[in-house]
Amino acid sequence: MINETLIPKIGVVTDIRKDTPDVKTFRVVGTDGKKLFQHMPGQCAMVSIPGVGECMFSITSSPTNEEYMEFSIKKCGCVTEVLHALEVGAQLTVRGPYGKNFPVEEDFKGKDLLFIAGGIGLAPLRSVINYVRHYRENYGKVVIVYGARSKDDLVDIDEIKNEWVNEPNTEVYLTIDRPQDGWDGHVGFVPAYVKELGLNPNMTAVLCGPPIMIKFTLAGLLELGFEKSRVYTTLELRMKCGVGKCGRCNVGDKFVCKDGPVFRMTELDELPDEY
Amino acid sequence: MLKIAKERLNDLYAKIAESMGLFIPIKRAGEVNYAVWAEGKEVSLETLKTVKSPKNAFFPQTENMMKFKTEGKNLEVIDIRKDWSEEKSFVMFGVKACDYKAIEVLDKVFLAEPVDTYYQLRRKAGIIVTLACSRPEESCFCKAFGIDATSPLGDVTTWMDETYLYWQANTEKGEALTALVQDLFTEGGEEEVAAQKETTAAIIDKLPYSNLDLSRFKPENLNELFNASEWEEMSEACLGCGTCTFVCPTCQCFDIRDFKTNEGVLRYRCWDSCMYSDFTLMAHGNSRTTQMQRFRQRFMHKLVYYPSQNDGLYSCVGCGRCVNKCPQNLNIVKVIKTLGGKNND
C-alpha cells in the first residue's frame, strides 16, 4: 500500500463517556488494541464514519497517555450526530495527527500558565493541561478558569473536581452562566470572571471557546496588562484534507489545518479578519 | 532539434499510442479538450485554449481514493490503487506554456510534504510535450507573470509552423520518448524556430494585457488589499457559478466525499470551488457568508496568499480562460487593473 496521508487507520471505540447533554468523550484505540499514533497537545485528527463524513477534532487526551486517545465531541452536525449514536466496540477511521501544537516544550516551559475555556473549548485544553500536570516540575503556577452554560454543560467535571483541584500550585475557577439549583460556585460569564479574578498579567494565557468568549476575554486580559504575544488560542474552520491542500481552511497566507490550529494572538493580528 | 512534416503527425500519434496513452487536444461536439487519441479523432493542436486545462490529467475532476468495507462491526480500508504502477505512463501532448506553468503551481501544493501520492503517481507517469504558442489571443496575459509562451518547458518542447512540427527533448523522460519516435523525424529547424520565437514575442508584446502591473500584490500589503473598498463593486455581478474555478488551470481546491455502493463505501475527491457558499460551511457557522468574501478569497489567494507561501510565485498564469468564460465578464484582469498597481491605467 502506498503511504498516503489521506488514507485513514481503523479505530475501535473502547469507551464512551457522556459528559454533558450534548458532549460525549470517545476513547479510541487501533484494531491491535494499541494507541493509533503519537501527538502533541493541541494537535488534531480527522475522525470519520465512512458513508457519513469526516471531520477534524482536537485530540482531547494528553500525549502522555500511552494507551489510547480521547475525543470530546459535541453533537452539532451530521457526523457528530452519528458519532453520538455509536456504541462501545464500534469502528471508525482516524488519521493524523495534524496541525501545530501548543509550544509546551518551548515557550510554555518554566512559565506560569493561565488556561481559560468556555464550553466544549475545554477539549483542546484538556490535552495540554494534563500534559503540564504530567511534567509538573517543568511549569510554574497553573490557573484554570472554566465556564459553561450550566453545571451540566461542564465537560469532564469529574476529572476537574477529583484531580485538577488537588494538583499542587494549581488554582481552578469554575463558573456557569446563570444561577442553578445545586450550584454554589461562581455565576457569570467567563470574560467578566477573568477580570474579577484580577489575574497576574505575567502569565502565559491559552484561550479556547466560542468566538464571542475569546473576543471579550482577550479584551479583558489586555486590560489587565497581559501581552498579546503571550496569549494563545485555537481556530476552527471547515477542513477536508488536513494537510493544507484542499483549500478550505485558508485564511490569509495560513492554513488552519497545518499552520494552526494553535495561534498566538499577535499572529492572528496579521491575518485578515475572516475566521 | 528534430522536425516532422505536419502531414506525418498522425504517424507520430499512432507510434506513441502503441505503447502508452496519448492525451491531445481533440475536437468533439464543437469543443476542444484533452482526450485520448485514437485513429480518426480530430486533433486540434492549433486550438490555443482547450476548454478545460490539462490539470485534469494530474488532478482529475473526480477521482476515487479508497473503499471501505464493513463486516459486522469490522471496518476495512482498501487503497484502490494497488494495481497502479509508475510504468503506466501517458503523454500530454500540446500543453501551452501557461498550462505548463500551472502544473508547476499545482506541484507546490500537492508535492509539498506530506506528499499527495494520488497526484504524485500521475505526475511521475505523465510525460509532458509542450507546444509553443504562435498565435496568442487578446485574452492572453502570461507575459504579465513572466511566462515565455514562445519557449515553454516540459519533457519535450515542440514548435509548429505551416509545414513542420519541431521537437526538442528537455529531460530524461523526454529523451526516452524521443528514442521511441526518432525514426519519424529528421534533423533541423533551429532557424525556423528562432524566427517564430521572434515573431511571436513581438505579437505578445502588443497584447492588451501583457504589461499588467502586479507591483502592489505583495505580502506586506495583504491586509490593505483585503480591506480594499473596491471588492464590493468588483464582485457585485458575481453569480457564484464557479465556472472560473473549474476552467482555471491552477485552482486546486477539492472536496472529499463518500458514496454508498452495493459493495461498501467509496471515498472520492472532486474539484470544489471557493465561490460556493457551502465551501466554508460548518455546523456552527460560516466564515464567509457573502459572495464578496468568496470572490475576494479567490483573487487574494491567487495574487497574494499563494505567492506569500511560495516565494512570490503567482497562482495565476494568464491563460485567460476566466476572461473568456465568465458569464458576467468578471475576471482576474479586472481585479489586477483595479488593485495591482499604478501602471494599470
- A139: CATH: 3.40.50.80
Sign of CA pseudo-dihedral A115, A121, A122, A123: negative
Closest residue, chain B, to A238 (C-alpha): B280
Condensed to tens digits (0 to 9), the pLDDT of residues B9-37 reads: 999 999 999 999 999 999 999 999 999 99
CB contact under 8 A, A246 and B272: yes
Nearest to residue B141, comparing CAs of B208, B201, B58?
B208
- Amino acid A212: pLDDT: 87
Q: Assess whether pLDDT exceeds 70 at residue A116.
A: yes
Q: Is the pLDDT of residue A1 over 70?
A: no
Cell of A65: 497517555
pLDDT-based confidence at residue B115 (cuts at 50, 70, 90): very high
- A31 plus A143 within the same structural domain: no
CATH assignment of the domain containing A39:
2.40.30.10
Find the residue in A nearest to B121 (Cα): A2
Q: How confident is the model at residue B76 (pLDDT cuts 50, 70, 90)?
A: very high
Q: Nearest-CA distance from B288 to chain A in Å?
A: 7
CB contact under 8 A, A50 and B75: yes
CA A135 to chain B, closest CA, distance in angstroms equals 31
DSSP B115: P
- Closest-CA residue to A130 (of A187, A74, A58, A185): A58
The whole-angstrom separation of Cα B247 and Cα B243 is 6
Measured CA to CA, the distance from residue B104 to residue B110 in angstroms comes to: 10
Q: What is the distance in angstroms between the Cα of B52 and the nearest Cα belonging to chain A? A: 20
Note if the bond before B208 is cis, omega within 30 degrees: no
User: Does any domain span residue A250?
Assistant: no
- Domain boundary (A68, A98, A128) is at A98
| Average model confidence (pLDDT) across chain B | 94
Confidence band, pLDDT 50/70/90 cuts, at residue B83: low
CA dist A148 to A77, A81, A173, Å? 20, 21, 12
One domain, residues A117 and A186 = yes
> Distance, in angstroms, between B136 CA and closest chain A CA?
31
Distance CA A105, CA A102 (A): 8
A273, part of any domain:
no
CB pairs under 8 A between A and B: 125
Cα-based distances in Å from B82 to A1, B85, B118, B203: 7, 8, 12, 49
Tens of pLDDT, residues A230-266: 999 999 899 999 999 999 999 999 999 999 999 999 9
Cα separation, A98 vs A89, whole angstroms: 25
User: Average pLDDT, stretch B175-197?
Assistant: 96
SS3 A235: coil
CB contact under 8 A, B305 and A238: no
- As given in the structure block, the three cell numbers for residue B109 are 501544493
pLDDT per position as a tens digit, A211-237: 889 989 999 999 999 999 999 999 989
Do A182 and A71 share a structural domain? Answer: no
Residue for cell digits 459493495?
B263
* Rounded average pLDDT over B244-265: 95
How far does the CA of residue B58 sit from the closest CA of chain A (Å)?
14
Judge whether residue B81 has pLDDT over 80: yes
DSSP B59: S
| pLDDT (0 to 100) of residue A92 | 97
CB contact under 8 A, B68 and A248: no
Interior angle at CA B291, CA B106 and CA A274, nearest 5: 70
- Strand A113-118 with A254-255, pairing: unpaired
- Asked if the structure places residue A137 within a domain, the reply is yes
Residues of A in contact with B303 (CB under 8 A): none
Domain edges within chain B = 2-62+89-206, 219-344
Task: Retrieve residue A207's grid coordinates.
Answer: 484561550
Report if residue A264 sits inside a domain: no
- What's the mean pLDDT in A154-182? 92
Judgement on whether residues A75 and A49 belong to the same structural domain of the protein: yes
Say whether both A187 and A77 belong to one domain: no
Cβ distance A8 to B77 less than 8 Å, yes or no, reads yes
- The DSSP H or E segment spanning A17 is strand A9-20
- How many other C-beta atoms lie within 10 A of the C-beta of residue B108? 16
Q: Are residues A130 and A208 in the same domain?
A: yes
Same domain assignment for residues A83 and A131 = no
The answer to whether A246 contacts B109, with C-beta atoms less than 8 Å apart, is no
Structural domain contains residue A24: yes
Q: Which residues of A touch B (CB under 8 A)?
A: 1-10, 50-54, 76-78, 80, 89-93, 236-238, 240-241, 243-248, 250-253, 270, 272, 274-275
CB contact (8 A) between residue A246 and residue B227: no
Distance of CA B312 to the CA centre of its chain: 19
Chain length of chain A: 275
Q: What are phi and psi of B133, to 5 degrees?
A: -80, 140
CA separation for the pair B52, A13 (Å, rounded): 45
In single-letter form, the type of residue at position B84 comes to: W
Residue A185 belongs to domain spanning: 113-234
B229-248 average pLDDT score: 95
B270-328 residue pLDDT tens: 999 999 999 999 888 899 999 999 999 999 999 999 999 999 999 999 999 999 999 99
Strand partners, A56: A46
Q: What is residue B85's predicted lDDT score, i.e. its pLDDT?
A: 61
Task: Name the domain boundary from A43, A71, A98.
Answer: A98
Distance CA(B104)–CA(B128), nearest Å, equals: 12
pLDDT value at residue B86 = 56
In whole angstroms, what is the distance from residue B28 CA to residue B326 CA? 22
CA A69 to chain centre: 13
Same-domain pairing of A90 and A129: no
Contacts of A40 (CB under 8 A, 6+ apart): A63, A97, A101, A102, A104
What is the share, in percent, of chain B residues with pLDDT greater than 90?
92
Instruction: Flag whether A249 is in a domain.
Output: no
Identify all chain A residues contacting B77, using CB atoms and an 8 Å cutoff.
7-10, 93
B345 pLDDT band, cuts 50/70/90, is: low
Q: Are residues A224 and A143 in the same domain?
A: yes
**Closest CA in chain B for residue A31:** B74
Contact A213, A118 (CB under 8 A): yes
Q: Enumerate the H helices of B76-218 as residue ranges.
A: 97-110, 117-125, 172-181, 190-206
Kindly report, residue by residue over A185-199, the tens digit of the pLDDT: 999 999 999 988 989
What's the sign of the alpha-carbon dihedral A262, A265, A267, A270?
Answer: positive
Residues A82 and A151 in one domain: no
* pLDDT for B342: 84
Q: How far is residue B208's CA from residue B307's CA, in Å, rounded to a whole number?
A: 24
| Distance (Å) from the alpha carbon of A186 to chain B's nearest alpha carbon | 27
pTM: 0.93
User: What is the number of structural domains in chain A?
Assistant: 2
Overall average pLDDT of the B251-269 stretch: 95
Q: Grid coordinates standing for A205?
A: 494565557
User: How far is Cα B12 from Cα B93, in angstroms, rounded to an integer?
Assistant: 11
Alpha helices in B20-85 (DSSP H): 55-58
Residue A12: is its pLDDT beyond 80?
A: yes
CB contact under 8 A, A240 and B76: no
B307-333 b/e (C-beta count within 10 Å ≥ 16 → b): bbbbeeebbbbbbbbbbebbeeebbbb
Which of B227, B282, B309 is opposite residue A238, by nearest beta carbon?
B282
Q: Is B312 helix (H, G, I), strand (E, B) or coil?
A: coil
Residue B87, pLDDT > 60, answer no
Q: Is A267 exposed, middle or buried (0-12, 13-18, 19+ CB in 10 A)?
A: middle
Cβ separation of B223 and A5 shorter than 8 Å? Answer: no
